[in-house]
Amino acid sequence: MLQQRRAMLKILLVEDSDVDAHLTQDILAEWSVEQFDVTHVARLSEAFSHLSQTRFDAILLDLSLPDGYGLSTLRQMQAANPTIPIIVLSGFSDQTLAVEAVQSGAQDYLVKGQGQPEMLARSIRYAIERKRAEERLTYLAQYDQLTGLVNRTLFRDRLIHAMARSKRLQQPMGLMLLDLDRFKAVNDTLGHDAGDQLLKVVADRLRECVREVDTVARMGGDEFTIILEGFSHEDDLVVVARRITQSLGTPFNIQDQQTSIGVSIGITTYPTDDHEIDDLLRHADAAMYRAKQRGGNSFEFHISNDSPPSTLSSKSS
């Protein structure tokens, strides 16, 4: 009878004591449920080098290293690799330090050499599962479940940071507010499932129209926003807006039926439009409304009260 193959978990052990490292490896070798492929390094710098080249399931971290000490070691490791669960292996049974380590992001705090193989092995497994659950909850809180785009909450956070970078680097930032044309007719004639399918395809097309560094968000319903950083001239925004109107103006095949919509886009630029987030969104919304009044599938730039009408408006042909 063939023996069932055990799961293999890749572990990075960051420990400057060879004796303690061998002890940890021996303890894990005794565990029969999973197999552990342990890579041992003695310094933080070595750990960062390995993490940049190899995917690990978990990190076992000593807090006292030649190039790191105490909770600072943990924070550096977590900052460099926020998605990998970290278990602290300490030579001290210090309840206060243990609590502080967990509060700083460690999944667990264990004392070296104490406990049976089951304790360390299960701590690793539970740490991996807890980290996955945390990432799932974070994803649900920050991304739209239907389209996978950034949601309203994460969008506002990214916009705050984009505005700060814009002023610090003295590089303009573009903000687009998009509202689909004739989307309600799709829901009314083909049903909400078709509408959901259409929104997914719209999201895909929007991603294709911008760079990876740009942020595309779904604000709710059929309303989307885009943050574009580091452009050199408003003409760059015109190119993107035309690309979007042409892409979304191309018919969609939904439930084996050809469906045509469009998109109305309002655009404002920061810090030319030097206002807070809600004002920027209102300005982009007003420009979008003017685009929709022109018949849709077009874009308009925000016009301040004392400026002449924009010459950058365009209707997609």
Catalytic residues: 222
| Residue 143 DSSP one-character state | B
What is the distance between the alpha carbons of residues 179 and 261, in angstroms, rounded to a whole number?
11
**Residue 293: count of CB within 10 angstroms of its CB:** 11
Please tell me the distance from the alpha carbon of residue 290 to that of residue 121, in angstroms, as a whole number: 62
Q: How far apart are CA 131 and CA 124, in angstroms?
A: 11
Q: Which of 111, 123, 104 is nearest to 59 (CA)?
A: 123
Question: β-strands 298-301, 262-270: how paired?
Answer: parallel
Going by the DSSP 8-state scheme, the letter that residue 303 receives in this structure is -
Phi, psi (deg, nearest 5) at residue 283 = -65, -45
Answer whether 282's CB lies under 8 Å from 248's CB. no
Measured in whole angstroms, the distance separating CA 101 from the mean position of its chain's CA atoms is 25
Alpha helix locations (H) across the chain?
18-29, 44-51, 71-80, 95-103, 117-142, 152-169, 183-190, 192-209, 234-249, 277-293
Tokens of 157: 């956070």
